[in-house]
A and B are shown apart, each in its own frame.
Chain A
Amino acid sequence: MGGDGIIEIRNLQVSIQGEEILKGINLTLKKGEVHALMGRNGSGKSTLAKVLMGHPDYEVTGGEATIDGNNLLEMEPWERARLGVFMSFQYPQSISGLKVGNFLRKSVVAIQGENAPSAREFRAELNEAMKKLGVDKKILSRYVNDGFSGGEKKMFEILQLMLMKPQFVILDETDSGLDIDALKTVATGINSSVGNAACLIITHYQRILSHINPDYVHVLIDGRIVESGGPELAISLEEKGYEWLGEGVAS
């Protein structure tokens, strides 16, 4: 960690079970930048997130993704995590019997290695992060995502983000299923963590982008980025939908 934090995605092509989902994605993200990736269901947004994290179901058929020149695509998910890649899951998994407190500590130690805070420092950071998110301390003795509500799961993802201090943050529909208040809190957590990172926000809706200001907005349709622009692009999408961009899709 602590590199220049440049993520380059070049002509990335990805299939699952023989079906091509991503048809040549190009994106460059730099430290401190927030990129929003918008698109309809099935456009390939979540596929991109999972491929960057290393999900085993997807096959990369072409192109590359690097972080400071290191080839991400050849790494195991845990190697990517240790290099500073973090993904907030759309559907976080529950692990029965694994206590949240224990999991957080173990994960921070796994990711940060010898740079991990001492147990005492960690405890202080944890308390502060929980306070910021309004998460009750009782969560620490619950099992990871076990019996969590949709909102609690998302809040827990952001708690992890705050503690793991990644340099490349991928938020996969973190805003879905959150009410307005929860969304605000989550956004506060995200904003406090992404200042020194490159951030890719995957979302359907513009509303999270009124709390986290993107520097760039990209529109994904049928596995290709068809439009890129500034924050104003998200607003026109909200007003006009995706239809007007449909014509831009070359077939």
Chain B
Amino acid sequence: MSEETKDLVGDYKAGWHDPENATIRFDAGLSEQVVRDISELKNEPEWMTEIRVKAYHNFINKPMPTWGNTEMLEGINFDAITYFLRSGSGTERDWDDVPEDIKRTFDRLGIPDAEQKWLGGVTAQYESEAVYHSIREDLESQGVIFLDMDAGLKEHEEIVKEYFCSVVPYQDNKFSALNTAVWSGGSFIYVPKGVHVEMPVQAYFRINAKNMGQFERTLIIADEGSSIHYVEGCTAPSYSTESLHSAVVELISHKGAYIRYSTIQNWSNNVYNLVTKRAIAYENATVEWVDGNIGSKLTMKYPAVILKGEGAHAEVISVAYAGEGMHQDAGAKVHHMSSNTTSKILSKSISKDGGRGSYRGLVKVGKNANNCKVNVVCDALILDENSQSDTYPTMEILNPTCRSEHEASVSKISDEQVFYLMSRGHTEDESMALIVNGFFEPFTRELPMEYAVELNKLMALEMEGSIG
């Protein structure tokens, strides 16, 4: 990494940046014209342009959320953000064709290596667009579609048109409106009936430029009886100015299908991470969000599942780490619309060095949804006096046959625990890391091994010098 960035980077390992070699960079700021220009540049069908423009006006007219961290939200300067930046010259299918500097970035992040070892497909997005994309041939031959979203719209317009905005309408919130207006990149996945994608597919999102806005849009459709595990990772350089990441993710899990969506978000702490993730699960379908928020300045993200069909199941397992200057406002939303649906929410947060971790959850059980089961557990670990944890759990249960359980705990690491581990040869920092990683274990055990190892290392790094 260059000397000038080193100071800013600190312990954040992914904090270097490359020179910007933009082939197209829009001026900062947003207007209807910018929205139309993005659409035109991408040569989109008219209906998409129209949705974008409508969403833009909705965004302009919608107030900021009045909950979460309103002070930090008000700090976003929408005029300073670059809404579209093209770095490559297209999406390559061979790493050798990806521009050298960008390829180096992904090499350093270990993406090509991971692809070879254990992934069924990879998309790498750099700034606004995918620069690399591939899928294993055996998946392609079974009819699995895995494309970046721009290519998805071009090649499968009819499917995109059917599902786009069907789970997250652009009017849903200010940031879903913004994303719909200026979206670029993201993943488009369709798994045909009965096809099981055995290896996870991965998307990696990297912001490199300063004051960048990344607005990927992801749409995953698992047709009847199919299954897929999608993994996403995110990093950005550590700049002193802010960037905005505002994605929308829509999942459709048809009858008997299974979707697991795993995220390890490790944005640098100058990134606003304001993401809308929602899934719809039909009869006997399952959706699992496995959501790890380790970085960013402010994250507001509540992966949601609408249990629309009878017997559908939702799981939201999340961890958040809030360090200095960070606020992780994360949680889950589940709406039980049908009978015999079940949901399980497990949220774990750690706050340290003045960071703030909030759990915000909503579980609704509809009047006509009989025999539903709801289980919510949220645990917080606070590492010092300056840090904060709060929970906002809401349950709206309108059907008396529902069985619901809710547990919450706030704990601190005790001196006795640290002493015990130190007496077994572990330094103070190592002892803290063992306790913290143990606290996250119910989450990490759900991750592919490579990610679990990476996450444990990351947390060990965060625990260095944590006790004076």
A interacts with B:
yes
A77-B422 in contact given A95-B438, A97-B439 (Cβ < 8 Å): yes
Are the C-beta atoms of A78 and B438 separated by less than 8 Å? no
Are the C-beta atoms of A95 and B417 separated by less than 8 Å? yes
Q: Annotate A61-93 by CB proximity to B: 1 below 8 A, 0 otherwise.
A: 000000000000000111011100011010111
A contact residues around B438 at 8 Å (CB):
95-98, 143-144
Are the C-beta atoms of A98 and B423 separated by less than 8 Å? no
| B134 close to chain A: CB less than 8 A | no
Q: How far is it, in angstroms, between the C-alpha of A144 and the C-alpha of B414 when the chains are bound?
A: 15
- Greatest chain A CB density within 10 A among B415, B420, B434 is at B420
Could you list some 30 contacts between A and B, CB below 8 A? Answer: A53-B419, A54-B422, A76-B422, A77-B419, A78-B424, A78-B428, A81-B423, A86-B423, A89-B420, A91-B416, A92-B420, A93-B416, A93-B419, A93-B421, A95-B417, A95-B420, A95-B434, A95-B435, A96-B438, A96-B439, A97-B437, A97-B439, A97-B440, A98-B441, A106-B434, A111-B424, A111-B425, A143-B441, A160-B424, A164-B425
| B99 close to chain A: CB less than 8 A | no
Contact residues, B294-347 vs A (CB, 8 A)? none
| A56 close to chain B: CB less than 8 A | yes
Residue of A nearest to B443 (CB): A97
Q: Annotate A135-147 by CB proximity to B: 1 below 8 A, 0 otherwise.
A: 0000000011000
Q: Annotate B79-96 by CB proximity to A: 1 below 8 A, 0 otherwise.
A: 000000000000000000
Q: How far is it, in angstroms, between the C-alpha of A212 and the C-alpha of B438 when the chains are bound?
A: 36
| B115 close to chain A: CB less than 8 A | no
| A148 close to chain B: CB less than 8 A | no
- Greatest chain B CB density within 10 A among A89, A96, A111 is at A96
Residues of B contacting A: mostly = helix
| A107 close to chain B: CB less than 8 A | yes
Chain B: interface size category: 20 to 34
CB of A58, distance to nearest CB on chain B (Å) = 11
Which 7 pairs from chain A and chain B are nearest by CB?
A97-B438, A97-B441, A110-B425, A111-B425, A98-B438, A77-B422, A93-B420
| B430 close to chain A: CB less than 8 A | yes
Other A-B contacts than A107-B425, A111-B425, A144-B438, 18 sampled, CB-CB below 8 A, are: A54-B423, A55-B419, A56-B415, A56-B419, A77-B422, A77-B423, A78-B428, A81-B424, A86-B423, A89-B423, A92-B420, A96-B438, A96-B439, A98-B438, A110-B425, A111-B424, A143-B438, A143-B441
| A103 close to chain B: CB less than 8 A | yes
CB of B242, distance to nearest CB on chain A (Å) = 34
B contact residues around A95 at 8 Å (CB):
417, 420-421, 434-435, 438
- The total of interchain contacts (Cβ-Cβ below 8 angstroms) comes to 82
Q: How far is it, in angstroms, between the C-alpha of A127 and the C-alpha of B420 when the chains are bound?
A: 24
B contact residues around A87 at 8 Å (CB):
423
Q: How far is it, in angstroms, between the C-alpha of A29 and the C-alpha of B438 when the chains are bound?
A: 37
Contact residues, A91-139 vs B (CB, 8 A)? 91-93, 95-99, 103, 106-107, 110-111
Residues of A contacting B: mostly = mixed
Which residue of the partner chain, among A57, A97, A107, contacts B426 with CB atoms under 8 Å? Answer: A107
Are the C-beta atoms of B430 and A93 separated by less than 8 Å? no
B contact residues around A143 at 8 Å (CB):
438, 441
Q: How far is it, in angstroms, between the C-alpha of A217 and the C-alpha of B336 when the chains are bound?
A: 68
A contact residues around B440 at 8 Å (CB):
97
Are the C-beta atoms of B426 and A98 separated by less than 8 Å? no
Q: Annotate B400-432 by CB proximity to A: 1 below 8 A, 0 otherwise.
A: 000000000000001111011111111110110
Residue of A nearest to B435 (CB): A95
Q: How far is it, in angstroms, between the C-alpha of A95 and the C-alpha of B421 when the chains are bound?
A: 9
A contact residues around B426 at 8 Å (CB):
78, 106-107, 110
B contact residues around A144 at 8 Å (CB):
438
| B112 close to chain A: CB less than 8 A | no
A contact residues around B415 at 8 Å (CB):
56-57
Residue of A nearest to B414 (CB): A93
Are the C-beta atoms of B423 and A103 separated by less than 8 Å? no
Are the C-beta atoms of A81 and B417 separated by less than 8 Å? no
Q: How far is it, in angstroms, between the C-alpha of A93 and the C-alpha of B430 when the chains are bound?
A: 16
- Greatest chain A CB density within 10 A among B416, B424, B427 is at B424
Q: How far is it, in angstroms, between the C-alpha of A111 and the C-alpha of B430 when the chains are bound?
A: 13
A contact residues around B200 at 8 Å (CB):
none
Are the C-beta atoms of B439 and A110 separated by less than 8 Å? no
